[in-house]
Structure 1
Amino acid sequence: MSDMPHHTQIWTYRTPRARLLLWGGWLALVALFVWCWQIMTKDTIWFFVQSAPTQAADIGGRMVPPAWGYLPELMVPLWDTINIATLGTIGGVIMAVPVAFMAARNTTPSATILRPIALFIIVASRSINSLIWALLLVAIIGPGLLAGIVAIALRSIGFVGKLLYEAIEETDARQIEAVAATGASGAQVLSYGIVPQIMPAFWGISVFRWDINIRESTILGLVGAGGIGLKLQASLNVLAWSQVTVILLLILATVVLSEWVSARMRHAII
């Protein structure tokens, strides 16, 4: 019996073609990064970049110690900020509920007309930052708390509407069919078949959005929409860095507290 040569095939994780494509993709990604970096830094003054650590250390030294005596003046602006977030969230939720029902496939009155309109409203709201909304509203209705409240509300429509219409579409169809089988009207099916299923998600989404709006409302004053951001802008304009420290610490404490309250409320609801 003659010995036959045995050809053993060596297994590899990727084929030569796959390895070539992988390396080509990495080279293309590096080339894209270099090209974007050149575009972004073409007007950069590198002398200022080199002196940035020195400037940061200088400003950091001026921010210490904090001007704690400035704290009482921030209580009213902080309360305004909380009101902007709260009222804006309520307004956004009220406007987002009908939009969500029109956007959901299983509740929309018209899949060809109203649903695309509702989806467009959701996308438009989510694509424009609250700071831009505030900037536009300050130019339209003037500076003040109202501009901030409306800006937060318009920004909240997209967030609440998107998550809520997804929750509506994920409702259990068997419960809805059971209610409809009793001869209930469309409004009764909505009230007893859909709404009870989405209420935990509704409250969770609303509280979560309020928590986000607390953070966003702290900077709306930079464009004149009221709140503690006005004090921050005023302190930055006069280079009162010790006051800036107090404002930043107060904003941090407020955000941490709102995060805790939001988590406790979501836990109690869900």
Structure 2
Amino acid sequence: MPILERDDAQIWRRRTTGQSLVRWFGWLLGVAIFVYCWQLISESTTWFFVWDAPRIANDIWTRATPPKWEYITQLGRPIWDTLNIATLGTIIALCMAVPVAFLAARNTTPSALFIRPIALLVIVSTRSINSLIWALLLIAIIGPGVFAGVIAIAIRSIGFCAKLLYEAIEEIDHTQVEAITATGASRWQVMAYGIVPQILPAFAGIAVFRWDINIRESTVLGLVGAGGIGLQLSASLNVLAWPQVSLILIVILVAVMISEWVSAKVRGAII
């Protein structure tokens, strides 16, 4: 915040001339990038469909209302499959994420030079690929169905759970660990009595939170053939059965709301 002198009077300015020029140049560069990107988007966009979108949306809304309520009798099994995909996938992921987290944490890994980088690679690789992509790959390998959806959810969840868990392991109170170590306890005893009790609340919270996320993700896996209510949604969309589509969306919304409520209650009880 320089103070400039003019005719024996001090004039306060927030920035110097050089700082102002840099700031304006940054704004100019940002606007130029935006304009360039907008031109690229405009060239590949059919604006007729964009301007006609409100009419199409209103037409679909008219066709989709009221929902076909009698179709709900056929959604019991698909929504049950969706819940099973999310639950089983979360359980499998947690079973695999726990050892990965202990191998990735600096204070529990057997080798920070060799084993920890491998564990971190597993965490990054499983988190970086969306569950839909995992489902597409698994459907090509093991075929369509609920099993492919369960494995896709499990693989996608390993990195998420392991990352949060190994961060919780690194943040434990080392005083308790040192006290147990001073008694002559073995490495496994230190882990069982000094580390695990401290991370159990974090583990429970991570498990419930990830299950809540997996409920949402499993509802759309059926769009690629991985079972669940998404399969019914895809079939209804293919035949333009809009009243069925609206009912399926309502069921998905209710299922997600219930899972959110259960997740919030469980996390509140744990915390």
1:128 equivalent in structure 2: 129
Q: Deviations over 1:187-233 (max 9, x none)?
A: 01101111111100000001000000000000000000000000000
Deviation larger for 25-34 or 234-243: 25-34
**Mapped partners of 1:161, 1:248: distance in 2:** 32
Distance in 2, matches of 1:92 and 1:38, equals 44
In structure 2, C-alpha distance between the alignment counterparts of 1:8 and 1:120, rounded to whole Å? 62
Are 1:193 and 2:194 matched, yes or no?
yes
1:22 shift after superposition: 1.5
Matched, 1:212 2:213: yes
Alignment map for 1:238-257 (pairs within 5 Å): 238-257=239-258
Q: Distance in 1 between matches of 2:115 and 2:10?
A: 61
Separation (CA, whole Å) in 2 of partners of 1:6 and 1:38: 50
Secondary structure of the structure 2 residue equivalent to 1:10: strand
Amino acid at match of 1:177: E
Aligned positions of 1:46-195 closer than 5 A: 46-195=47-196
Give 2:3's aligned residue.
none
Please give the secondary structure, in 1, of the residue aligned with 2:12: coil
CA distance in 2, matches of 1:231, 1:142: 18
Moved more, 37-46 or 185-194: 37-46
- Deviation of 1:36 after TM superposition, in Å, equals 2.0
- Code of the aligned partner of 1:131: L
Once the two structures are superposed, what CA deviation does each residue of 1:99-151 show, in whole Å capped at 9, x if it has no partner? Answer: 11111100011111111111111111111000110011001000000000000
Q: Distance in 1 between matches of 2:175 and 2:12?
A: 51
TM-score for both structures, normalised by structure 2: 0.96
User: 1:33 is matched with which residue?
Assistant: 34
* Superposed displacement of residue 37, structure 1: 2.2
Q: Which amino acid aligns with 2:253?
A: L
- Segments of structure 1 that go 5 or more residues without pairing to the other structure are none
- Structure 2 alignment gaps of length 5 or more: 1-5
Question: In the TM superposition, what is the alpha-carbon distance from 1:6 to its structure 2 partner?
Answer: 7.3
How many residue pairs get matched? 266
Partner of 1:267: 268
Report percent identity of matched pairs. Answer: 67
| Segment of structure 1 superposing worse, 14-23 or 48-57 | 14-23
Superposition deviation, residue 55 in structure 1: 0.7
Superposition RMSD in Å: 1.2
The aligned residue for residue 7 of structure 1 is 8
For residues 138 and 38 of structure 2, the distance between their equivalents in structure 1, rounded to whole angstroms, comes to 35
What amino acid maps onto 1:197 in structure 2?
Answer: Q
Q: Distance in 2 between matches of 1:17 and 1:196?
A: 57
Cα distance between partner residues in 1 of 2:202 and 2:8: 62
**Structure 1 residue 40: Cα displacement:** 2.9
Partner SS state of residue 171, structure 1: coil
**Structure 1 length normalisation: TM-score?**
0.96
* Secondary structure in structure 2 of the residue aligned to 1:134: helix
